[in-house]
Structures are given as structure tokens and as C-alpha cells.
Amino acid sequence: MSRVFVTGMGIISAIGDTVAKNREALINKQCGIAGLTLFHTKYTGLRPCGEIKVETHELKNKLRAHEKGITRSSLLALHAFKEAIADATLSANQLSSRHTALIGASTVGGMCLTDELYNDANKSENGSEYLSSYDCASVDLYLQSRYSMSGVINTINTACSSSSNAIMYGARLLKNGLAKRVIAGGTDSLAKFTINGFNALHILSPEKCTPFDRDRKGLNLGEAAAFLVLEKEEDIAGKKIYAELTGYGNSNDAFHPSSLSDKGDGPFLCMQKALQKAQLPASAISFINAHGTATENNDAVESQAMIRLFGTPPPFASTKANTGHTLGAAGAVEAVFGVLNLYYQEIYPGLHFSNAIEATGLKPETIYRQGSLQHVMSNSFGFGGNCTSLIFSKI
């Protein structure tokens, strides 16, 4: 089966609207989590978020996306998608080729439009322009039509691991010969739906989140989109190559609808499967971009699972303290960061950490440094026990 390489990337998050700006922010310990200023909710001022400080209509103007029914989730996706395909120098013909697949992911989709959805779901007339924009697929259907894409098009929703699974599915399409190139990633925008949902579960932090800290108070939501262009070994002569996608593993924790088991079977198994796929021993991993949401449950379980698999875990950190938890985009956002770790041979510091969790004593990386990195693992665990781990390797 062919080897799979990353040849382009695009991202927009609370710490920047390009890959380069995101890298700068990570190096400079920039935190994009702050009070909400654009998105309106009762929790403005109470629950800080990783908000992208660009109004939806500005995004429409910048992207020249004035079609009816376009939602913020789709606009963020388009923003990241454009950067990724330009980075990989894909032509219009390549994009519309039957051999080019688009695998997206989202958990909110068009449901960011809470009030419109409420009216359209409950009232018998005067439907809005968004009637066919609420589902997660609407994002990828928009990209498909904008670029006349004719290969495999798919949308995945496995909650917070959605876009890791999109990347995994994309890699498998390549290896199975069902596509020559894949654009894989995900998007999610802030929504009353998720803010209230996570708040009702009492896992939203009133302060900036503190991944892997003893006194962590929960997660901050964020919004983002990220896409990676994946291509096969035989098609990339002369192109810029960021990294190789060598491993991926998907496993279910099979424990509880919204929390992970104490032993962390799902997280353990997906990391183990990713190592097996990459044919690497645990000791080969140079760095882990952890899921690290800063909820009590996730960080405790993820720590236990890392100890179970690695004994002494390799250096790790969570970038969720920079971007917030971007849900369906998180896997792709962090895949981009993991690839940057390898490409620039550097480790970005985790933010807001003070004291280790007593039971594990694990401390995330807190200082920027350069180092020799061979293989970087990126973890994503979602509601429903959906756990996925990816491994990227240095060229």
C-alpha cells in the first residue's frame, strides 16, 4: 500500500488565520481564549472562548462567498480549504478530478444559527435561507459545488474526534486506490448549541483552561477549521512535503455516553493501534499533541492511558489552551500543529500549567524548544467513547 504524505495545510483559529500565524502564536505562547465579543450568548463574560475575531459578513466579503445559505462553519472551512489547496499547488482541474476526494468533519455544521434553526423547525411559514444548511454535510456540499469536485465526498461526525477520523478515512482512500489526493479536515464554529450543551454537563471552565493541571476547571470552547492535503508517494515528485502520515488508530471506549473510563481503554487502544499501523515501538514517539481538554475526566484518563502505553510518556502538551476546544475541527487543527512540530523540529509550550495531577505526576511541556523529533502523535477523544490517534513522521 502506498505511503501517504502531507503536501499542503490550511488553518483558521483563534490564534491566526494562516498556518504561519498559528505557528508564530504557538511559539509566542499566545492564547486565543478570551471573552466573547462577536458571538452573542448569555454566557458572554462568563465562559471565555477561542473566538475568531472576524465577523461572518467580513468572512463572506473576504472569501467572496455570497451564495445564499452559507453558514459561518462553511466560511471557516472555505478559508482553511483555500489555504491548503494553494499550499499544495492544486490546480482547478486537479480539484475537479474524479481522483480528488474531500473528507470533511463537523459536529455543529449549520446549527451555529440557533435562532434561525429554532424558527425553521417550529414555524409553518417564512422559512429562512438556511433550510438546507443546518446539517454537518452542508459544509462539504458547499465546498464540493464551489470547486466542482467529483471524487469521493464525505462528512464524518464522531464528536470531538471527527476530523482525526476524516484524516484517517482520507489516508485509507489513498491506500486503497480510491483517490489520488485527498483534502481532509474539519470545521466548527461557536454555537449556542454546544456552549449550552457543554455548560449543562458542567464541563465549561469559567477561566482560561489549564490542561493537565491539578486544579483544572474544565474546557473552553473554540472555533476553527483546518484542512490537510494528503497525497501518495508516487504523485509528489518536486512538491513540498511536510510529513508522512504513518499511523492511525480508531477505537471505542465502550464505557459511557459522555465520559471516559478510568482505565482509558479507548485512548489506550487507539494509540496502540496507531503505533501498530506505523510499525513503531512506543519509545519511537518524540512528542504527543494530547487531546488535553482540561476537563477533570479527560486529562486524568488520558494521563493514565499514556502511562499505561508508554511507561514514562514522551514529552507532551495540549494546544487547547491556545485555541480552545474546537470540537469537529480539533483533530485537524492539532494534526496541523503536529506536522509543524516535525517540519520545524520544535515543541510548542503548553499554557496555564502550574501543578501536576497528583495521581500521575505528569507535567506537560511548558517552554518552547527546538529538538530532534521523528514521530509525533496526535490524540482526539470524543463523546460516545470515539477515540482516534494519528502519527505523523519526519521525512
Partner 1 sequence: MYIHHHTCISPQQTFEHADVETLHESADNKLKAKEPVYKGIPPGILRRMGKAVRMGIGAALPVIKQQSLIDGIIIGTANGGMEDCIKFLNQIIDYEEGMLTPGNFVQSTPNAIAAQMGLLNKNKGYNITHVHRGLAFENALLDAMMMIKENPGNNYLLGAVDEISAYNYNIDLLDGCFKKEIIVNKNLYDTVSAGTIAGEGAAMFVVNDNAENAVATIKAIQTIHTKDEMEVSRVLQQFIQQTLPDNEKVDMLLTGENGDARLLKYYTEVESLFDEYTTIARFKHMCGEYPTASSVALWLVCNRHQWPAHMIKKQCKNSTVRNIIIYNNYRGLQHAFMHIVKYKC
Partner 2 sequence: MEKEQLKQQLKQQIVQFLNLTSVKPEDIKDDEPLFGEGLGLDSIDSIELIVLLSREYGITIQDPKEGRKILVDINTMADYIAEHKTK
- Which positions touch partner 2 (CB under 8 A)? 200-202, 256-259
**CA-wise closest residue to 147 among 65, 61, 241:** 65
Phi, psi of 165 (to 5 degrees): -70, -30
Q: Using the rule CB under 8 A, which residue among 193, 263, 308, 310 binds partner 1?
A: 193
379 binds partner 1 (CB under 8 A): no
Q: Which of residues 116-175 bind partner 1 (CB under 8 A)?
A: 117-118, 120-125, 127, 131-132, 134-138, 140-141, 144-145, 149-150, 152-159, 165, 169, 172-173, 175
- Please report which helix (H) or strand (E) contains residue 232, including its range: strand 224-232
| Minimum CB–partner distance for residue 31 and partner 1 (Å) | 25
- What mask of x and - would describe binding to partner 1 in positions 265 to 304, judged by CB under 8 A? xx--x-----------------------------------
Strands (E), 264-347: 287-289, 316-317, 346-347
Cα–Cα dist 269/251, whole Å: 6
Q: Residue-wise over 138-155: b if at least 16 C-beta within 10 A, else e?
A: bbbbbbbebbebebbbbb
Stretch that binds partner 1, among 38-46, 212-220, 236-244, 365-373 (CB under 8 A): 38-46
* Cell representation of residue 105: 468533519
| Minimum CB–partner distance for residue 309 and partner 1 (Å) | 15
Nearer to partner 1, 92 or 201 (CB): 201
* Whether 272 contacts 379, CB under 8 Å: no
Q: What angle do CA 251, 253, 254 make, to 5 degrees?
A: 115
| Minimum CB–partner distance for residue 202 and partner 2 (Å) | 5
| Minimum CB–partner distance for residue 74 and partner 1 (Å) | 14
| Minimum CB–partner distance for residue 83 and partner 1 (Å) | 23
Q: Checking DSSP bridges between strand 287-289 and strand 316-317, what pairing results, if any? A: parallel
77 binds partner 1 (CB under 8 A): no
* Whether 246 contacts 375, CB under 8 Å: yes
Question: Which distant-in-sequence residues (6+ apart) come within 8 Å of 35 by Cβ?
Answer: 44, 45, 48
Q: Which does 39 bind (CB under 5 to 8 A by kind): partner 1, partner 2, none?
A: none
Q: Using the rule CB under 8 A, which residue among 20, 92, 201, 359 binds partner 1?
A: 201
Cα–Cα dist 142/333, whole Å: 20
| Minimum CB–partner distance for residue 132 and partner 1 (Å) | 6
Residues that bind partner 1 (CB under 8 A): 41-43, 107, 111, 114-115, 117-118, 120-125, 127, 131-132, 134-138, 140-141, 144-145, 149-150, 152-159, 165, 169, 172-173, 175-176, 178, 192-193, 196-197, 199-201, 250-258, 265-266, 269, 382-386
